[in-house]
Structure 1
Amino acid sequence: MAVAAITTPPKQKSRPKLKKQPLPAGQPREWYESHNRRLKAMRLAIALLDTGVYHPAKASNRRIRSTAERIGIHPPSNTTCRMVRSLIYSGD
């Protein structure tokens, strides 16, 4: 006697959508540039940690830039790459 298997599609983990808020007006241009640089560095550090890069020595500029391409953001500058490594290091 054959038994029918009941299959259900696997549940996808959905992250709650955060409502974007505009940046405060009236700040100098350097403030906005550093703010956006920090956000980019955090996104890259999280993506690298998700792929198993847990030590800054393993996060070369080439690896950071290929990760940026993979997640769909512009290639980071050398300064942003250094910031990514410092964020990974502070997580130890």
Structure 2
Amino acid sequence: MPAAALTSKSKRNASRPVFIDPTYAPLEKRPLPAGRPREWYITHNRRLKAMRLAIALLDSGVYLANQANNIRIRSMAEEVGIHPPSDITCHMVRALMRYSR
């Protein structure tokens, strides 16, 4: 492909407006389903907490799992306003960051 074609194509894309998603409102919370074993609820809430922390770390610039040690994860939880996570939850945060690619 000629260089002129690439240049004209990139100029065309540069003039297009960039659409930015509006901030999302959180979904209305619903009660969890009844009748499950207690361990299911503990694991479910731990996964949600790990996801919130992984997102907060990614937003702050921590992109690699080996950069997210327990101290950094716990300090991020304090910044975000989440109770300090356990060692298991910290491990889940790193696993989410590792396998998200």
Q: TM-score, normalised by structure 2?
A: 0.76
RMSD over equivalenced CA pairs, Å: 0.9
Query: Which of the pair has more CA radius of gyration?
Result: 2
Give the gaps of 5 or more residues in structure 2.
Answer: 1-21
Which residue of structure 2 aligns with residue 66 of structure 1? 75
1:76-91 pair list within 5 angstroms: 76-91=85-100
Paired residue for 1:44, among 11, 34, 53? Answer: 53
Give the gaps of 5 or more residues in structure 1.
Answer: 1-12
**Identity in percent:** 64
The list of structure 1 runs, each at least 4 consecutive aligned residues, that deviate by more than 3 angstroms after superposition, is: none
Distance 2:45 2:99 in 1: 20
Which residue of structure 2 aligns with residue 21 of structure 1? 30
Cα offsets for 1:20-54 (capped at 9, x unmatched): 11100011100000000000000000000001111
Query: Residue type of the partner of 1:69?
Result: E
* Greater helix share, structure number: 2
Shift of 1:16: 2.1
Q: How many residues align?
A: 80
Query: Residue type of the partner of 1:48?
Result: L
Paired residue for 1:55, among 52, 60, 64? Answer: 64
